[in-house]
Amino acid sequence: MRFGSGHLVRAETVFSRWKVPEVAAPVIDVPLSALASYVEGRYKIRPGLYAAARVDHLGFSDVTGSRGPQTWDAPVTRIEVGGGYSIQRNLLLKLSYQHNTRDGGRVTTLNLGAVQLVYWF
């Protein structure tokens, strides 16, 4: 979807489902599924300068085990903000910050910053 001058908004959702082969106990007899969604937007502040943001989430179906129903992997949520400036027509400076949260595993929160200099010819 696109609206106005310099505004861009996109969204997408993907659903996956598959069966796990019966190799050894414990047997998973229900299909596993995952749902991924994101929404992102970009705004041109002025020619050559833009700001952008993105929110996405990856979730998993439940599997019933000895501890009751639990997701078969840890859901992940990510929020990212950034911007860019065109130094010249084929040289772009990009800055971004990303915050990730996960409902399990050793690392449950991760914050990342990035600086990129993109050159094409």
The reported pLDDT for the residue numbered 1 is 47
79, 55 in Cβ contact below 8 A? yes
**Which position has the token pair 């019966």?**
22
H or E stretch covering 43: strand 32-46
Tokens matching residue 72: 């078969």
Distance of CA 3 to the CA centre of its chain: 23
The tokens for 54 are 């993105």
Q: Where are the domains of the chain?
A: 2-119
The pLDDT of residue 64 = 81
Q: Of 97, 99, 61, 60, which Cα lies nearest the Cα of 77?
A: 99
Using 50, 70 and 90 to split pLDDT, how confident is the model at 5? low
Note the pLDDT tens digit of each residue in 71-82.
888 999 999 999
Q: In which element (H, E) is residue 15 found?
A: strand 7-18
**What pLDDT score does 2 carry?**
46
- State the pLDDT at residue 60: 94
State pTM to two decimals: 0.79
**Span 46-64, mean pLDDT?**
94
Measured CA to CA in angstroms, residue 117 lies from 44, 79, 90, 96 at distances of 19, 22, 10, 12
pLDDT tens digit sequence for 90-103 = 999 999 999 999 98
